Structure 1
């Protein structure tokens, strides 16, 4: 047997507006993990190791106790908005390294209403202090504006100034992702808006209107990751999806060079992680059919087109002009509705992306199905910074 790794079960909860459901971390973990185990056809006592991710809960073991108490190692994972993908990365590493044949990755979050803060606590050093210094050195900082829309909005402004993208390009991304989510029963929003609705929604930070910004959300998602031997022994080839490449990159000095807002919000780390993940999977971006991309704000989706190599630097908006990133185009990006419309419970986001792409490659995504999807790519970034990119392919015995 080789050290190939596979997702054989995925599950999630519906993503909800914070406070709209009376539940806590153990409740959402039980639902998401239960769905993943049912999908895999694997009982909890087959899990040998678990990685439970959240930014605010910090209760990996306790969250899983409602699902089962089997004495296995359970590690809590925290890695900004890439927390869920980091849990998946660690589960894959455990299986790939021969430490387990069956591992669980869980991501979950209960969030407060309102805009996400800058991570300021008792320490003078925050997860994004480098990023804020670089951003404020290059741009006037508006103290009355929320930090995250401002950071990504400034990246959009830089792209418009340098390369000629327009507010309409960013509004189209918001329109597209809301339209995609209409067919996703797990999405926080399932309302189809017109382009004018998105463009004319309340301005959060120019050019980003409210319908171009991901909401705070509650929810959980999970994946069962196994070895080739496990797939073979349990006859799971028909449902298995291979994680053919997976890499996590962190900031380099270039992230803060020239006080570029585009670099500050993760262009370089996205580029690095994508290159390494695709190299491991032995694919190029041209081979990819469907992408779940970290569209925390519409500006980040456009910039990431370029980081992934879908367009040349400064040419991401041309993909929008060509409608190349929706159904009928070269790629379908965020068929789930993305973070903008599906929701963004920080710890769960990466594993919800994994779930969507697993369903797509199985041909089980219903009305969201991307016809003929054979190669899928996941991009999940958290400022501070960690960027996870994974490449998935259908398994073959």
Structure 2
């Protein structure tokens, strides 16, 4: 039974460690105070690829949520879907056409070079802002160099995950910074980071948060800046979507973990180390632990799993399971994808 006991220990560690982290971090509340100062020129960048069907809705949402603010909206597009036709009624929107599809990060960097605002905002075409943009931008003062949103989804499966995810991001922000930003709304002060500093591959949104944190500026998630994003409805498309995003984060953490651990910011080091563990090592504890249990005592293990599944009738337990298990699978797959090397352009999943 030695292998079985070892499997139980490893599996228990997989669950107990993040539960402990969540129970501590989720209790932290953001104490940073927003300012009421007038906002400077805001450059809003929307990278697009085959987004003609969504762009009108997106632009109307952006202008509605920035009413009264001084904004320039830049769409940088690399598709041939005729998006220009949808922009005829938006004469104040600047369109940059790319001849070749080179990926989101290249698009963002090029749009940054052609933008003029003191504040740069990057947002996805399929993201709908629930709250005014000023709810987030009013925090950009002093040591706060970048802000992001909290995410919600139209899909129940993704929302089960997002509820816990948002609590963690805000709690990490309360400590100092969160190393994970959301591409649905990322905003930062232009003078703190240049396009050349952003790597051409990987998680551009989270990289911005980490780079600024290493410079001593805070990168925080704003609970009053809520955004709804579309998620794939078909399970295989959903898994592909999660794997793609996960692989970017895996490479982001592995690329930056040594730099962060050598920095002097204790609070950010704690958060970054924890998130690196959760995205790289933690998922394997579940696989290895269960494998040892099944190999050494398959009948007992199946009985334990059957008993655990009975708890699915409890709504909160079911919500946690739906949030946790699919993401562990996606993170395992993400690591295999990350091992292939950097991928600049991905297949777009159907939403």
Q: Please state which band the TM-score falls in when normalised by the shorter chain.
A: under 0.3
Q: Which has the higher helix share?
A: 2
Whose RCO is larger (CA < 8 A, sep 6+)?
A: 1
After TM superposition, the score normalised by the length of structure 2 is 0.27
Looking at CA atoms only, which structure, 1 or 2, has the larger radius of gyration?
2
